[in-house]
Structure 1
């Protein structure tokens, strides 16, 4: 492999580097867990890698509780998500999804931003973040920020809304308005963490003391060209008390989630199989 490397040390150097490369081919790299595999398949001739591993900037590298939101920098390691006690206690869906992703060794180097920007329809972390109604904070070469819902950030398999003059700076998640939660991540795959999902379902419900759903988010992965937010199901659940969901309602909710999907056949599973597995996973949501 033959490519050039630029290693900015701070945000100012990063924006200058990004600006200087606008007329050239370049790729971002941080943990390099996916990029090196890609370069082995495709010759990176005349490509410059912007190495983000040396970047020292709190907005990119930290997890912060700020003005009613949790800010997660794009260079935060997946292992940091797994170890963060606030995330574990307040956003179990994100904690579980991070632990379901890859191996422990890979999680020590892989970054949140790198994983999200792969835009995989079966992405564990992405599925959890869509269920949490997370927001992308995107920085351009002029230092300006644009915000975009993560559900709109994904445009197709391997495609995001990022422009050539932009970089994903951080992810923000609204804080909970209730301590009474039902939150988790369900992944169906052949070898769990080391396997891409055949079907995944992320859910995060904030409940009143009596069990009534106050806020809700459900996302499904590996059953469409992008992660899918199940808006119809969420709207229905906002009228429900989870203590009163009987077998009839369970089946109705499962059907609504299933109907939101549009799976395809691939090497891992057929569309029919994914459709059926999703229904069974959705049925288990309130058991």
Structure 2
């Protein structure tokens, strides 16, 4: 951008210089024109005198004619200089206008790039806030579950203590029970154990992640972070073993879940190919390519039907 700005400033300076030359040429031409008029008037005046002229008068007439011819020639030269300066000014004006158009186009492109960067940053910030809110909800649910667990255990312990009655009370209760007529006992319904519902990736999370990827991949030279895919619990032993070797938090099963219902796997595998991230900044290029590769390997396998 600085090169275009410097070129525009240089072109404007050349235009100002050409304009000054043109104005100076006009002023010089005007002066020669006035001198030519004066010389012509003197020549005509001397020629119009009647009678025999003295040698001095003849010399003055000859000198006036020579002066008139010289001034007339200088006036013609000055007119030619004015035309030349005017042509040079027109050329410089055209060049300046061309540079100005290039500068305006460059500024418009730069403005669009800045707006796109701001938009990507806003989308990334919105995605980050959604992820933080989701994590807070998950942590809140986990805390609530942990708080309810001691209460349930305490209630179970109290019931067990109530069952342990003293020996005398137990005998009295037994005799009383033998004296009373037996009543049909209601069938006991066993309590179903509580099954923890495993968290699954929602369609909204999938959509948000794909939108974040589209925004982040628009200009890879500006990428500093790779959008993390949503995760859900995975019981695969291989995924657990590779947990510390992965660049992404999401395992292969999570990534496969993200692309399970996609009909654009052919385009997705191209989109996440590691070579497409070679334009990232030097300090993050390796990490970006590693994360993209982990997604690409899964998507490529799904595309090939493996």
TM range (shorter): under 0.3
Which structure carries more helix by proportion?
2
TM-score norm. by structure 2 comes to 0.20
Q: In terms of Rg, which structure is larger?
A: 2
TM-score norm. by structure 1 comes to 0.21
Which structure carries more strand by proportion?
1
